[in-house]
Chains A and B, each alone.
Chain A
Amino acid sequence: MSEAAGKVSVACKVNGKPVVLCAYPMARLLDVLREELRLTGTKEGCGEGECGACSVLLDGELVNSCLIPVLQAEGTDITTIEGLASGDQLHAVQEAFLACGGAQCGICTPGMVLAAVNLLAQKPSPTDAEIRTGLAGNLCRCTGYMRIFEAVIAACQRTGIRS
């Protein structure tokens, strides 16, 4: 590649597709996703791993992409909010956020939806306390979280796991 000196190639999968990213090794995964791949659904809220707006799934784990140097993404499988729906068919968690009012201004929503997906992958039938702690790394300033809790419960019911 004829990129500026110091950049490296990083091969990984993003939303199911193999990609080769070209970036400085310490570039934040957040910036590379947004700028190289134009996947702007991943948001920056604080840049220090506090708010969770930049959450993505990396090998099935929820991470703050503002804290991940792109080099660390080598060989990984990354899911961003853009990779969640299948075409026009929304993921059950996205449907539930829509139906329950879990999204207001929408800026925390991509990260929050992924956090909820991650929570349900680990605990298909979470208790209220598990929902609260499972989402505690994702800040929302609009909802007071009640509609989000409801959305997580609705998503469980939708998938028939929690009655």
Chain B
Amino acid sequence: MPKRYIGQSVPRKEGREKVTGRARYVDDLTFPGMLYGATVRSQVARGQIRGIHFEGSVPWDEFTIVTARDIPGKNCVALILEDQPYLAAEQVNHPEEPIVLLAHADRYLLEEARRAVRVEIEPLPAVFTIEESLAHKEVVWGENNVFKSFLVTRGDVESAWKQADFIVEGEYHTGAQEQLYIEPNGMIAVATPQDGVTVWGSLQCPFYVHKALVALFGLPKEKVRVVQMETGGGFGGKEEYPSMIAGHAALLAWKSGRPVKIVYDRAEDMAATTKRHPSRTRHRTAVSRDGKLLAMGIDFVIDGGAYTTLSPVVLSRGTIHAAGPYFCPNVRIRGRAVATNLPPHGAFRGFGAPQSIFALECHMNEVAKAAGLTPDEFRRRNFIEQGQTSAVGQVIRERVDMRRLLDRALELSDYHAKTKRLAAENAHSRLKKGIGFASFMHGAGFTGSGEEYLASVVSLEATPEGRVRVLAASTEMGQGTNTVFAQIAAETLGLDYEWIEVAQPDTAAVPNSGPTVASRTCMIVGKLVESAALGLKQTLIRSGLLRENYEPAEFRQACRKYIEQFGPLKSTSQYQPPPGVHWDDEKYQGDAYGTYAWAVYVAEVTVDTITCEVRVDDFVAVQEVGKVIHPVLATGQIEGGVAQGIGYALFENVVWQEGRMVNAQMTNYIMPTSADVPPIRVYFEENPYPHGPQGAKGIGELPMDGPAPAIVNAIEQATGVRIPRIPVTPEVLLEALEGELV
């Protein structure tokens, strides 16, 4: 019997390199003759550039200096719209906008020089909040400050308001959140007009960077090469901004003729690179006397910052998830992404869904209250079921049992007994305890027809020794890509896990398996690994060199013979949508996702009513994610996401001043430490998804959605006060407890 690998916690592929310090990240590389690069930024939120002055006693002739005029191709970071320049030429639209690049071999002199560049800017009026942008306090983008809007309609909301027994309204806000990967962004570039451009860096999406560099330099595709180094965390923060840094490093390398390294320090990384979109959500909900949802009106707005970047896509996911795992016959969701003069906001694990789900899951507790039901009973009456249709018109074909997930989560957390007990105890203590939960789902893979457009490709190749290499552009950034791909290939081919290698993502050597985002790597790309592996096996069997039920030694022999007789042995697989999946981009209706992961999370908190600190004491995470490929990795994904969600709910507060993040330090932007996290108890239900590898669904983003509303609902139970915004810092809680929160 061949060994089984699916469902087994095999050692992480690159784990040994990581625990010994041998794993190579971008800052661990040096090249002979290498220069360091630095970026001079606007510091003014919006204005016209009037002049650039190189001042101080800096030996300027030793420096490579690049401005917009030095750009050989298009001065825009190619992504969705072409509105964001690599280097501002005339106007700046946010305070971290790059204007001048400098390079020098001496890092200390470089920093002195960066401070000695004075950019003269004539300020223009700017907008800094969603409210200011919507009110057109100043039009700073396009005709109306709106990057993108969606309108999702189902049934007839207007007539439903008239039949409602209760109507409940609420407004909810979420703040920006910094990804705070522990490895800051960085790139090294080598670039000459003869050989083209090569970059090595910390990044999630090699072909995004590739596309951007091709446009920036006006080079043919084959003259641009992007190599991913070991990447010290991404969480979405290395999805788009690496294209900017790669371009900057390459422009300096192109002009100087020397390799150039740009590694951001923590302050620059936090202030200048993308963060999670702040949001405002307004809910108006009609409910019947027996606690059935009749209508949901949702107005969802996110702050996109100064340029379009990925905001339309973030908005799309946030909009689709805004009505949650509930059935409601009448729904109207308006989603808008608006412009401000903040640095562009971007991808962060969850991608719009944590924002809209926070609002929804707080609001559902308020609706339950109005209908005279407990939060759990209200949800039981409204959970979507197999065969029902979602807000965007998707008929849920898969088996879904939210009631079971809810029951299990409430039982594991001892929710009902604690609810009673804590209420009695709270009466006599300054420490108020509460328990709260959130129920939610997260779509896996790109939205709608996104996967069809991507048309991702994976190849497997065998060596004469019978080793198999997985060739894909999907990156390892801690989540376990290498390990999971090797497990899937080993299981499919009946080979030892050790005989599978996963190639380093390098655009010159691997096919485009798409970006490493959207909880798609295991489910979508893993499925391509599986089908390419099947193709490889079939090739050998059809060539007559291998029998059906082979031993690993026979496979190795067959590989050798095949390569001797026919040359390279390679199998390629390209994405095909599952049958019967339809999406209408115009009407925004149809199968938004091939499948969803479903979950109920429960948080228990202690609120100190004197210091206004909140502590999470216990956390239960129950989810259905299809087949679990690797229990330890999957559990680790959930635990890590929950910890980020706790930070999002309580600690992580980006403080803005005139469009700048002024607490761009780990000292005063606080993420959870080992002393701040509760026991995080993770439970999986398995319901194999037929179109995922061995039944797997996406998992990466799911755990970001639930913690914040669960915690805020727990705070409400503890204190009786609904706090409609996160993060719930002690200052926010103090105002709320004193009834002064606006």
Contact = CB atoms under 8 A, between A and B. Distances in A.
Contacts of B672: 144
Given A101-B9, A141-B180, A84 B478 contact: no
A81 B18 CA distance: 10
A139 B675 CA distance: 10
B667 A41 contact: no
Contacts of B479: 104, 142
Contact of A107 (B25, B635, B671): B25
Contact of B183 (A90, A105, A145): A105
Contact of B182 (A40, A141, A147): A141
B456 interface: no
B21 A47 contact: no
Contact of A104 (B16, B24, B636, B644): B636
A103 interface: yes
A107 B181 contact: yes
Contacts of A135: 674
Contacts of A133: 674-675
Contacts of A14: none
A148 B680 CA distance: 13
A47 B21 CA distance: 19
A98 B666 contact: no
Contacts of B181: 105, 107, 141
B666 A144 contact: no
A84 B679 CA distance: 29
A46 B665 contact: yes
Interface in B669-684: 671-675, 677, 679-680
Interface stretch (B124-132, B227-235, B514-522): B227-235
Given A50-B667, A105-B181, A144 B633 contact: no
Contacts of A48: 266, 665-667
A15 to B, nearest CB: 11
Contacts of B665: 46, 48, 50
Contact of B19 (A94, A105, A132, A137): A94
Contacts of B15: 97-98, 103
Interface in B1-41: 9, 11-12, 14-25, 27-28
A85 interface: yes
Given A45-B266, A144-B641, A144-B643, A139 B636 contact: no
Nearest to A133: B675
A46 B666 contact: yes
Contact of A46 (B179, B266, B632, B677): B266
A94 B20 contact: yes
A21 B113 CA distance: 28
Contact of B265 (A47, A50, A141): A47
Nearest to A98: B15
Given A50-B666, A146-B639, A43 B19 contact: no
B640 interface: yes
Given A107-B232, A144-B677, A45 B636 contact: no
Interface in A104-156: 104-110, 113, 131-133, 135-149
B487 to A, nearest CB: 14
A106 B232 contact: yes
A141 B674 contact: no
B367 interface: no
B481 to A, nearest CB: 11
Nearest to B19: A94
Contacts of B675: 132-133, 136
Given A46-B665, A47-B265, A48-B266, A101 B636 contact: yes
A145 B674 contact: yes
5 contacts: A45-B182, A45-B666, A98-B16, A101-B12, A107-B183
